[in-house]
Structure formats: C-alpha cells, structure tokens
Structure 1
Amino acid sequence: MGKGRVEAFTDGVVAIIITIMVLELKVPHGEDFSSLLPLWPIFFSYVLSFINVGIYWNNLHNMFHTVQRVDGRVLWANLNLLFWLSLMPATTAFMGENHFAPVPVAVYGIDLVLCAVAYTILVSKLRPLHGSDAAFTKAVGNDRKGKISLVCYIAAVLLTFVNQWIGVAIYFLVAAVWFVPDTRFSRVLEK
C-alpha cells in the first residue's frame, strides 16, 4: 500500500501535539519582566518538548521520503509512536508546572524512552518491506545514534533520582545531538 496517507496522518497528529503544547502556555500576570520569572519552568519544558517533537517529525518526514511502501504492521507501529508522542503535552506540563521535581522529570523521560522504543519498532517493521539495497535500509543502517539515544534516555530517567538536573541535562544533550540535521536519508537519496 502507498505511504501518502500515513505521512499526511502523521503530519496532522504532530501539528495537533504542538498546538496542544502551546495552548498549555499561560499568559503572565503583570506587565514587567519579573512577571515572566515564575513561568520559566513551563516555558523551558515547552522548548525542550517542541524540539523533541520537531526532531521526531523531521526524522519521520525524512524516513518516509525513502520508504516505498507500508503495510498494516507499519501503520500500527506508526500509531504506537504517535501515541507516545501524543502524551508529550501532558508530561511536559507535569514537568514544567512542578518545577522539574524528580518524579515529573522521570515521567517525562519515560515518555521519551517509549517514543524512542516506538521509533525503533517502526523501523523494524519497515525493514522487511524493503530489501537490503533499498534507500531506506541503507539510510537507516544500524541506527547507532538511535540506540545510543535510547540508552541515554534510560540512564537519564535513573539518574533523575540522584539529581533531576542530570536527567534534564541528558534530555537536552540528546535533543542537541539530534537537532543537527540527520543526513543519512539525504545522502542516500542524492546517490
């Protein structure tokens, strides 16, 4: 089956997730810069989540550009990823409104872990549909960056209970690594 509908649906869901996150931002009470100070945790959380959702959207866009076809297993795997991404507004608000307390930071990290696992599952469902010579298979390769990110997320969740700022720092570090555009797909398509 064609990939057009799954791409369009994914784009729509990601747009809704980002919209819900921005609607969680509250207008400050006051007219000076000091009125913004109490909102920094919520805004900081929003920025981190916007970057993470954007990274997933970017990677899915690039990945589906190289994919030739999908099947029912791919559709369900994609829905699995979209489910965990759809929890991002709730985990973001939980973390920001509780000023980065350890449990909310860990819950946010668990959501990131589950998003990463779901992405890995999606890739594993796409591989059998494409031969080893396909652009998709060549571009994904062994997905070392994805596997390292997953390990970092798991470590961050555990380290959050030592100090929540370690967890937050690792979440930002992983986002920073992925923020640099992933050229695996564009390199394969250029060949």
Structure 2
Amino acid sequence: MKTGRLEAFSDGVLAIIITIMVLELKVPEDGTFQALNHLIPKFISYLLSFIYVGIYWNNHHHLFQIVEKVNGKILWANLTLLFFLSLIPFSTAWMGENHFEQNTVAVYGINLFLCAVSFNIVQKAAMDSEGKDSLIAKAIKNYTKEMASTALYLIGIAISFFYPKISLILFFTVAIIWLIPDRRIEKQVKH
C-alpha cells in the first residue's frame, strides 16, 4: 500500500489537534489588556504544544517522503502516535488552566514522552518494512537526538513534582532540538 492515505489521514488529525488547542483560548469579556493576563499560562502552553505538533507534522512528512510502502504494522504504529498526539490538547489545556501546577506538568511531560516513543516505533516499523538497505535505514543510523530527547523528558517528568517551571524549560529545550527538520533524511533524499 502506498503512503498517501496514511499521510492524508495523519495531516487531518494533526490539523484537528491544532484547532482543538486554539479553541481552548477563550476570549476575555473585558476589552482591557489586563484581561489578557489570565491567558498568559494558557498561551504559553498553547505555543509549546503548537511547536510540538508542528515538529511531529514536519518529521512525519520527512519520514514518509522516503518510505515507499506501508503495511499493517506501520498503520497501527502510526495510529498509536496519533492517539498520543490527540491527547496533547487535553494535557495542554489542563496545564495552562492550572498555571503549570506540578501534576499538570508531569502529565504533559508523560504525554510528550509517549508521543516521542510512539514516533520512534513508527520509524522502526518503517525501517523494518523497507529493509536494511533502504533510504530510511541509511538515514537513521544515529539516535543521538532521540536519546537526548527521551532523557530530557524523563528528567523533566521527575523534576516536575518539585520544580515544574524547570521541567517546562527542559520541554522547550527538546522542542528547540527538533525545530530543525531531521537532516538525516534530507541528506538521503538529495542522494
């Protein structure tokens, strides 16, 4: 099976996720700038989550640019990724609504960690399907970014119970690490 339907479905789900997140930003009834103050935690949460959804969309696009066909294992792995991504609006809203309280930041971090793990599973399923001599296997030899991200998520989750704002800094750090699209795949596409 070609990748087109998987990509189209995933793009649609990611668009809906972003739409749901922005709908959580309720317009204040008061027309003053001070009325926006209570939205600051919600907006920070939204901004971070928007960046993450954008990163996943970007990396998903790059990944399926070099995958030639999908099978049932890839489809189920992708659905698992979409499931955890679809929880981002909930964890984002809960964290922003409660001004980055400990438990909310921990749940947000767990959500991000599960998204990362499930993306790695999609990547692995695609590599297994395409074979050891495929473009994807050649592109993804180094897992430094994946390992560093996983470590920062786990540290962030553990720290969130004591210093939730430091956890947020760690989560922003992971986002910064991934803002640049995965060059490993781009290099293989150029060859």
Relative to the length of structure 1, the TM-score reads 0.97
* More divergent stretch after superposition (72-81 vs 139-148): 139-148
Partner of 2:174: 174
Q: 1:7-86 to 2 correspondence within 5 Å?
A: 7-86=7-86
Q: Is the 8 A contact 2:109 2:156 kept in 1?
A: yes
Count of residues in correspondence between the two structures: 191
Counterpart-to-counterpart distance in 1, 2:131 and 2:73: 17
Aligned letter for 1:159? Answer: I
Counterpart-to-counterpart distance in 2, 1:135 and 1:171: 30
* Unaligned segments of structure 1, at least 5 residues: none
RMSD of aligned residue pairs (Cα, Å):
1.0
1:182, distance to aligned residue in structure 2 (A):
2.2
Aligned letter for 2:109? Answer: G
1:143, distance to aligned residue in structure 2 (A):
2.4
Counterpart-to-counterpart distance in 1, 2:86 and 2:66: 25
Partner of 1:154: 154
Partner of 1:134: 134
Aligned letter for 1:8? Answer: A
Once the two structures are superposed, residues 47-68 of structure 1 have per-residue CA deviations (whole angstroms, 9 ceiling, x without a partner) of 0000001100100000000101
Once the two structures are superposed, residues 57-87 of structure 1 have per-residue CA deviations (whole angstroms, 9 ceiling, x without a partner) of 1000000001011100000000000000000
Q: Is the 8 A contact 2:101 2:164 kept in 1?
A: yes
Partner of 2:101: 101
* More divergent stretch after superposition (102-111 vs 28-37): 28-37
1:186, distance to aligned residue in structure 2 (A):
1.2
1:20, distance to aligned residue in structure 2 (A):
0.5
* Unaligned segments of structure 2, at least 5 residues: none
Q: Determine whether 1:2 maps to 2:9.
A: no
Counterpart-to-counterpart distance in 2, 1:126 and 1:182: 16
Relative to the length of structure 2, the TM-score reads 0.97
Counterpart-to-counterpart distance in 2, 1:74 and 1:107: 27
Aligned letter for 2:161? Answer: F
